[in-house]
Structure 1
Amino acid sequence: MLSTFIAGASYSLKTHHPNLSYFSSLFSIFITIIGKNMETSANSISRLLDHPNGQITHIIVDDYTDPWVEPETVLIQGGFARHSTFWYHWIPSLARTYRVIRRDTRGHGKSSTPRPSDNYAYTLDTILSEIADTLDQLGLQKVHFIGESTSGMLGEAFAVKFPNRLHSLTICSSPAYLPPAALELFSFGHSSWPEACRKLGSRAWGEHLARAPGTLSSTDRKYEAWWVSTIARSSSEGLAGYAEFLSSLDTRPLLSQISVPTLILAPAKSAATGLEEQLEIARQVKGAKLVIIHGAGHEIYADKAEDCLTAFEEFLFDLDFRGSTDIA
């Protein structure tokens, strides 16, 4: 809207007052500077971060805390095919108390997809280093990490490799690995999960997933249409490359090494991770708190957002209380 105003005003000056082209240029510069200042002072900011390896990460920063408060930061990392847009409904509650960063993982949303010429090392270390670099570029030493579904595995690995960068870890509907049955489910009759993403495309792959029992969080057709079209914002190759990475990821050996405070939001009816697996993760992670969320399927962050938020906020309150008690 601002750019339209700038262009229109400049055009008017040049057209109706050709001798004022110099002042028109100054006017454009002046308004652009104002626009940039307005953008950086907004409560919700979309940013693109350049990593040393040449990849780009898209984030949305939401901060509706009081101006004189220096809040702690919550980093939200969505699961496969789900990028920052999917978490819109968590912001009104969280961003009043915390700075909230929604991050598109590699190949998702507005984050870049590695090209063959990039010689990108699609490894766990690479993904974790990009998360750490995101924090570095934002000047953040520590965050509360929320990893949904497969991004919970990223959170577990990050907690082991960079424990000093986390206040806490929350995993939501997160398996510790993807067994053959899950990989077959996501393949939808194709030779592999990545191949399904490439052959079907991101939209059709999302449509297939929406029809699988225990996955989508709502039977509302309008929601399903929005959900599929939002998944389609990621490229098929972006999803395929990330699917290849996830297909062999296994964080079970790391669970006993997690030392940061951990909350497990366990879905009661997920097609991707059973309740017994969630209980086993809780047994492996020392001191972990497990809360069972009774949702329609896998995406409890969506259909049971209030229950998840309540559990998360109570978890953080307990951490603050314990911290203040320790100081006293």
Structure 2
Amino acid sequence: MKAVRLTALTGFDAIQVEDVETKPLESRQVRIKVHAAGLNFADLLMAGGTYQATPEPPFTMGMELSGEVVEVHPDADGVFPGDRVMARPGQGAFAEEVVTNDRNCIVIPHAMSFEDAAAFPIAYGTAHLGLSRRGRLQSGEVLMVHGAAGGVGLTAVQVGKAMGATVIATAGSDERLAVAKENGADYVINYQTESIRDRVKEMTGGVDVVFDPVGGDAFKQSLRCINPEGRIVVIGFASGDVPQAPANILLVKNVDVIGFYWGGYGGFAPEAIRDSLEKCLTLYSDGLLTPHVSHVLPFARVQEAFALLRDRKATGKVLLTPA
């Protein structure tokens, strides 16, 4: 079968479409015919060897997918041949077929397209679990989302609105902010031309929760406009700048800075991931969440797909398909 492989930790040049052998099923495993797979910023970091959980190359890339179950091990639980599923195998999603554990699969609603399902697990899982479990976001609070037109940022805008928050979206261009506005943001800030702190003070006076996959100056500005007992949820550092939090500001303002690595829950609390995703699927079925997919490209154009992510030319999700 065809698969997208990373052969070395040297960047795009080491990403190749290759023929690989299919794997036999082991206990609790299922085989899925892949219809679509989601590209994530973590995949981009892995290509350069800078992600915190990068396997030793060569390996098949891809962390999330949608498809149809074609085979199950006799002791697999809750998944059957013919089921339409979304899955988070950890790695290996960019292939024509994927073998993964049954617990990594969730059957999707009948009305959900494979494209929506492929765009769903990591972005919505990160946004919902980060905001609900770590950020403790409450209805009526003010939420600020940085990088609000990206894959996880845009979902955080939607999830925040579904949870009853007033949402402030920040991004680096008016075009990207327009996408955030279309997806529910109440206010928008262009951090290339405007001061985050000053604009927040004008709009709402302050924020209660910050969802931050950007880091850098956006994090520093957040400390200057967060309300007492506010929470900054640190998702990542897309800016390339890992900021330091001055402890004196945290003390004086009674502020929490909270780390959140969604993938880590697969090891110590996998039930939290499944419960969160099932709640998100209910919100999807109720029409409150709508995946935004800006590009769908075949495996053969994987270099182009990665460039779209690197150059900030995509909004929402980029998907790869076997053909």
Q: TM-score, normalised by structure 1?
A: 0.28
More strand per residue? 2
More helix per residue? 1
Larger Rg, first or second structure (1 or 2): 1
Q: TM-score, normalised by structure 2?
A: 0.29
